[in-house]
């Protein structure tokens, strides 16, 4: 009964991975990759995406999990809507944002013009702004999922602990510091690491919003690999992935160890 | 008696909660509202910054549904492709991962642990990284532009997490059940069909929905593996609009809204199963 899955694994995971590694065997590919100015920029962007984007997202998710455990009818209703970005396909919503940001006809700049009489900025034509919007897009899409995970973690903390703390006159901050955080720390860190690994594979937020532009300045590793693939430079595509492995594999093995305990 | 009183502190708390809730609602809905706004606006109205159209219209839906624009010539075929691919992925992932989870968790076959680790490893590989070698091997297998390529790729991506979730759920079923069934002379297959499957229904629904939505929503793999207008999905068609400067935005956004409705409906229908089934695996600490 394991055979169907093993077939899938060997044909569509193991063989492609080995073949890909074989394609990226020449040291020459790595030299060309590192000499490509786009690659250096891409690595920086990817780091910013992971360090700033993910941590911002996880801190917000942690705060929001405290909001969503409050018992109000309207918070329940809000949580139903809040999950939408995660359930909807990326492409329509990202295109929607892309149109909002269009410098001439987008709703943001037409509003700016109507209110102030001035032309708004060309949002996606500035690499720093464009990358920030790609990060916001990513946060918009995946914040609900991580909030949900952290809500589940919060709900598993026994209520008696809070009651006892209230009796002892603990402040809100003390309750968070000494009850909530210690019991959520592990889930929070695991989630952050998992989110980092997955975000490396987030192609849509960048590609559909900025297309890697302007002038290939907003690529991340996920879109760069596909860019090389489309340019038929498969060895560079694989090399750009292999070069990330010393960073990715320890995280992957850490996660596997945690989950299979 | 603990009577509920309206206190100053209580009001302040409610205000604070609203201060978080309202911006959160706006943040969540803006892209979706903008999509909707475009779909009921004429092109002129949508591109001149109205936050509500001067004359709301359903004309865009008529254009899309009757394929009245050359961008939309294949709309219904692409819709059907999306359905076919999503349903196939949902069903096949369910079959493959249920078999695997049953073998690992109940039959305790040798090497089960290893297979689970291989699956977990696949689960953690960033999707866009696997896409590059996958594209290359699909072309070796001669599957490019064949919908099976996308179906198989999505099964590859969906089954690891499905196996994991199902394995977790089936570990929770009492072992005595299996023993009792074996005492009565049940074969492993009967055990699977008569005892295991009925008890696993909630998790099966969760996993099936998860893989179906994953396949329906997928963009990257669909756009790499399928490139003919009559074989690819609605998602790829939307992406292709992007490359053109003269794209009819209002039609593009209407198509996008229609494409986004089925997953939302499916999600809300099976939400109960999704949330408990899918967070269970991730929160394990």
Q: What is the C-alpha separation between B48 and B55, in angstroms, rounded?
A: 13
Q: What is the pLDDT of residue B179?
A: 82
User: Domains in chain B, ordered, with CATH?
Assistant: 73-239+259-283 (1.10.3720.10)
pLDDT digits (tens, 9 = 90+) for A181-230: 998 998 899 899 989 988 998 999 999 999 887 888 999 999 999 999 99
Predicted confidence band at B272 (pLDDT cuts at 50, 70, 90)? Answer: confident
Which residues lie closer than 8 Å to A224 by C-beta, 6 or more apart?
A38, A39, A42, A212, A240
Q: Rounded to whole angstroms, how far apart are CA atoms A250 and A241?
A: 15
pLDDT in tens, B245-266: 677 888 899 999 999 999 999 9
pLDDT in tens, B108-134: 888 888 999 999 999 888 888 999 999
**Nearest alpha-carbon partner for A7 in B152, B196, B271:** B152
Confidence of residue A144 (pLDDT cuts 50, 70, 90): very high
Cβ of B126 and A200 within 8 Å? Answer: yes
Predicted local confidence at residue B45, as pLDDT: 79
Nearest chain B CA: its distance from A73 CA (Å):
12
Which residue of chain A is at minimal alpha-carbon distance from B124?
A252
Share of chain B above pLDDT 90, in %: 51
**Residue among B48, B137, B267 minimizing CB distance to A16:** B137
Asked if A226 reaches chain B (Cβ–Cβ under 8 Å), the answer is yes
At residue A23, φ and ψ (nearest 5 deg) are: -65, -30
Residues A83-99: b if buried by 16+ CB within 10 A, e if exposed: bbbbbbbbbbbbbbbbb
User: Residue B11 is inside which H or E element, if any?
Assistant: helix B8-39
**Quick check: A223 and A200 in contact, CB under 8 A?**
no
Q: Is A4 on the interface with B (CB under 8 A)?
A: yes
B267/B274 Cα distance (integer angstroms): 8
Average pLDDT over residues B143-150: 93
* CB–CB contact B126 A197 (8 Å): yes
Tell me the shortest Cα–Cα distance from B236 to chain A, in angstroms.
9
> Three-state SS for A168?
coil
Q: How far B198 CA sits from the closest chain A CA (Å)? A: 18
Task: Write the DSSP string, A138-167.
Answer: HHHHHHHHHHHHHHHHHHTS-HHHHHHHHH
Among B23, B42, B52, B126, which would you mutate to test the A interface (most chain A Cβ atoms within 10 Å of its Cβ)?
Answer: B126
Enter the ipTM. Answer: 0.90
Please give the mean pLDDT across all residues of chain A: 90
Domains of chain A, start order: 29-87+128-156+177-259 (1.10.3720.10)
| A71 three-class SS | coil
CB-based contact A239:A24 (threshold 8 Å): yes
Q: Rounded to an integer, what distance in angstroms lies between the CA atom of residue A246 and that of residue A235?
A: 18
């Amino acid at each position: 009964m394991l055979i169907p899955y093993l077939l899938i694994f060997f044909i569509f995971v193991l063989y492609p991975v080995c073949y890909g590694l074989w394609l990226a065997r020449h040291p020459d590919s790595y030299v060309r990759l590192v000499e490509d100015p786009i690659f250096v920029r891409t690595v920086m962007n990817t780091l910013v995406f992971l360090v700033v984007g993910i941590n911002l997202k996880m801190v917000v998710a942690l705060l929001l999990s405290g909001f969503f455990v409050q018992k109000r009818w309207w918070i329940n209703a809000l949580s139903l809507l809040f999950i939408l970005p995660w359930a909807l396909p990326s492409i329509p919503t990202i295109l929607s944002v892309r149109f909002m940001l269009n410098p001439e006809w987008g709703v943001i700049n037409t509003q700016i013009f109507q209110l102030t009489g001035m032309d708004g900025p060309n949002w996606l034509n500035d690499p720093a702004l464009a990358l920030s919007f790609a990060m916001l897009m990513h946060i918009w899409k995946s914040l609900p999922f991580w909030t949900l995970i952290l809500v589940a973690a919060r709900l598993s903390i026994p209520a008696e602990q809070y009651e006892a703390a209230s009796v002892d006159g603990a402040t809100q901050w003390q309750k968070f510091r000494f009850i909530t955080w210690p019991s959520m720390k592990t889930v929070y860190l695991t989630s952050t690491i998992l989110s980092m690994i997955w975000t490396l594979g987030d192609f849509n937020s960048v590609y559909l919003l900025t297309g890697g532009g302007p002038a290939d300045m907003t690529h991340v590793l996920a879109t760069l690999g596909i860019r090389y693939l489309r340019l038929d430079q498969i060895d560079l595509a694989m090399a750009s992935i292999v070069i990330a492995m010393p960073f990715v594999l320890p995280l992957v093995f850490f996660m596997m160890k945690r989950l299979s305990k | 008696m603990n009577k509920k009183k309206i206190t100053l502190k209580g009001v302040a708390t409610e205000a604070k909660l609203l201060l978080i809730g309202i911006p959160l609602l706006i943040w969540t809905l803006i892209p979706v509202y903008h999509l909707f706004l475009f779909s009921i606006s004429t092109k002129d109205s949508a591109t001149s910054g109205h936050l509500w159209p001067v004359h709301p219209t359903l004309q865009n839906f008529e254009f899309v549904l009757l394929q009245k624009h050359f961008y939309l010539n294949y709309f219904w075929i692409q819709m059907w492709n999306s359905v076919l691919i999503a349903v196939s992925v949902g069903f096949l992932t369910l079959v493959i991962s249920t078999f695997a989870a049953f073998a690992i968790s109940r039959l305790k076959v040798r090497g089960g642990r290893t297979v689970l680790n291989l699956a977990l490893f696949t689960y953690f590989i960033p999707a866009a990284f696997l896409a590059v070698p996958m594209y290359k091997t699909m072309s070796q297998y001669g599957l490019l532009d064949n919908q099976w390529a996308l179906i198989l790729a999505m099964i590859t991506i969906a089954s690891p997490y499905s196996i994991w979730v199902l394995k977790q759920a089936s570990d929770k079923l009492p072992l005595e059940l299996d023993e009792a069934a074996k005492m009565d002379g049940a074969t492993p297959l009967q055990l699977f069909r008569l005892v295991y499957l009925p008890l696993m229904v909630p998790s099966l629904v969760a996993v099936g929905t998860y893989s179906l939505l994953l396949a329906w929503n997928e963009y990257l793999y669909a756009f790499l593996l399928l490139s003919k207008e009559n074989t690819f999905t609605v998602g790829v068609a939307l992406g292709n609009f992007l490359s053109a400067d003269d794209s009819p935005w209002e039609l593009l956004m209407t198509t996008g809204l229609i494409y986004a409705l089925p997953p939302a409906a499916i999600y809300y229908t099976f939400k109960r199963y999704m949330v408990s089934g899918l967070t269970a695996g991730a929160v394990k600490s």
